[in-house]
Structure 1
Amino acid sequence: MEASIQDYEEGLRACAEAAKIWMQVPAPKRGEIVRQIGEALRAKLQYLGRLVSLEMGKILPEGIGEVQEIIDMCDYAVGLSRQLNGSVIPSERPNHMMLEVWNPLGIVGVITAFNFPCAVLGWNACIALVGLMVQQNVNRRFGKCLLELSGNNAIIVMDDADIQLAVRSVLFAAVGTAGQRCTTCRRLLLHETIYHTVLDRLVEVYQQVKIGDPLEKGTLLGPLHTPTSKENFVKGIQAIKEQGGKFLFGGSVVESEGNFVQPAIVEISSNAPTLNEAIEINNSVPQGLSSSIFTRRPEVIFKWIGPHGSDCGIVNVNIPTNGAEIGGAFGGEKATGGGREAGSDSWKQYMRRATWCHQYFLLIVA
Structure 2
Amino acid sequence: MPATVGNFVNGEWQDTETGETFAVENPADTEDVIAHFQQSNAADTNRAIEAAAAAQDEWAETPAPERGEILKQTAQQLEARAEELTETLVREEGKARPEAAGEVQRAVDIFYYFAEKANDLGGDVKAASSTDSQLYTLGEPLGVAGLITPWNYPIAIPAWKLAPALVTGNTVVLKPASQAPNVARKLVECLESAGVPDGAVNFVTGPGSEVGTAICEHDAVDAISFTGSAAVGDIVYETAAEDQKRVQLEMGGKNPTVVTESADVEEAAEIVGSGAFGVTGQACTATSRAIVHDSVYDEFVQALVDYAESLSIGPGLDDYDVGPQVSASELDGTLSYIEVGQEEGATLEAGGGQPDETEYEDGHFVEPTVFSDVSPEMRIAQEEIFGPVVAVIPVSDFDEAVEVANDSRYGLSASVVTDDLRQAHRFVDDVEAGVVKVNEKTTGLELHVPFGGTKDSSSETYREQGDAGLDFFTTTKTVYLNY
**Category of TM-score, reference length = shorter chain:** over 0.9
Q: Secondary structure at the match of 1:110?
A: strand
Comparing 64-73 with 269-278, greater Cα deviation is found at 269-278
Q: Is the 8 A contact 2:258 2:416 kept in 1?
A: yes
Distance between the aligned counterparts of 2:322 and 2:60, measured in 1?
Answer: 44
| Structure 2 residue 237 is matched with structure 1 residue 132 | no
Q: 1:349 is aligned with what amino acid?
A: F
Equivalent residues in 2 for 1:29-108, closer than 5 Å: 29-108=66-145
Aligned to 2:276: 174
Aligned to 1:330: 451
Distance between the aligned counterparts of 1:41 and 1:94, measured in 2?
Answer: 51
Q: Secondary structure at the match of 1:252?
A: coil
| Structure 2 residue 331 is matched with structure 1 residue 294 | no
TM-score normalised to structure 1 length: 0.94
Q: Residues 290-326 of structure 1: CA distance to partner in whole angstroms, max 9, x if unpaired?
A: 00011122212222222xx212110001110001111
Distance between the aligned counterparts of 1:51 and 1:305, measured in 2?
Answer: 38
Aligned to 1:163: 265
Q: Is the 8 A contact 1:126 1:147 kept in 2?
A: yes
1:314 to 418, 432, 435: 435
Q: Is the 8 A contact 1:189 1:273 kept in 2?
A: no
Aligned to 1:196: 298
Q: Residues 121-177 of structure 1: CA distance to partner in whole angstroms, max 9, x if unpaired?
A: 012342123111111111110110110111110001112223232211111110011
Comparing 337-346 with 12-21, greater Cα deviation is found at 337-346
Runs of 4+ off more than 6 Å: none
Shift in alpha-carbon separation, 1:118–1:271, aligned structure 2, 3 A: closer
Distance between the aligned counterparts of 1:233 and 1:35, measured in 2?
Answer: 40
Q: Percent identity?
A: 29
Q: Residues 41-79 of structure 1: CA distance to partner in whole angstroms, max 9, x if unpaired?
A: 000101101100100011111111111111010111012
Q: Residues 64-118 of structure 1: CA distance to partner in whole angstroms, max 9, x if unpaired?
A: 1111111010111012111224222223344432212211112111111010111
Distance between the aligned counterparts of 1:276 and 1:328, measured in 2?
Answer: 29
Q: 2:41 is aligned with what amino acid?
A: S
Aligned to 2:155: 118
Aligned to 1:364: none
Q: Secondary structure at the match of 2:336?
A: helix
| Structure 2 residue 240 is matched with structure 1 residue 149 | no
| Structure 2 residue 386 is matched with structure 1 residue 265 | no
| Structure 2 residue 49 is matched with structure 1 residue 15 | no
Q: Is the 8 A contact 2:292 2:394 kept in 1?
A: no
Aligned to 2:187: none
TM-score normalised to structure 2 length: 0.72
| Structure 2 residue 321 is matched with structure 1 residue 220 | yes
Q: Secondary structure at the match of 2:147?
A: coil
Q: Is the 8 A contact 1:155 1:321 kept in 2?
A: yes
Distance between the aligned counterparts of 2:407 and 2:124, measured in 1?
Answer: 39
Structure 1: gaps of 5 or more residues = 361-366
1:305 to 423, 428, 432: 428
How far is the alpha carbon of 1:273 from its aligned partner? 3.6
Comparing 230-239 with 314-323, greater Cα deviation is found at 230-239
How far is the alpha carbon of 1:242 from its aligned partner? 1.8
Structure 2: gaps of 5 or more residues = 1-37, 162-225, 376-392
Q: Secondary structure at the match of 1:109?
A: strand
Shift in alpha-carbon separation, 1:85–1:303, aligned structure 2, 3 A: farther
Structure having the higher strand fraction is 2
Q: Secondary structure at the match of 2:95?
A: coil
Q: Residues 166-219 of structure 1: CA distance to partner in whole angstroms, max 9, x if unpaired?
A: 2111111100111110011010011222111111111111111101111112x1
Q: Residues 237-262 of structure 1: CA distance to partner in whole angstroms, max 9, x if unpaired?
A: 12112211111111112232211111
Q: 2:97 is aligned with what amino acid?
A: L
Q: 2:454 is aligned with what amino acid?
A: E
Matched positions, count: 357
Q: Is the 8 A contact 2:291 2:394 kept in 1?
A: no
Q: Secondary structure at the match of 1:210?
A: coil
Shift in alpha-carbon separation, 1:174–1:354, aligned structure 2, 3 A: same
Distance between the aligned counterparts of 1:52 and 1:293, measured in 2?
Answer: 32
Aligned to 2:390: none
Q: Is the 8 A contact 1:31 1:78 kept in 2?
A: yes
Q: Secondary structure at the match of 1:145?
A: strand
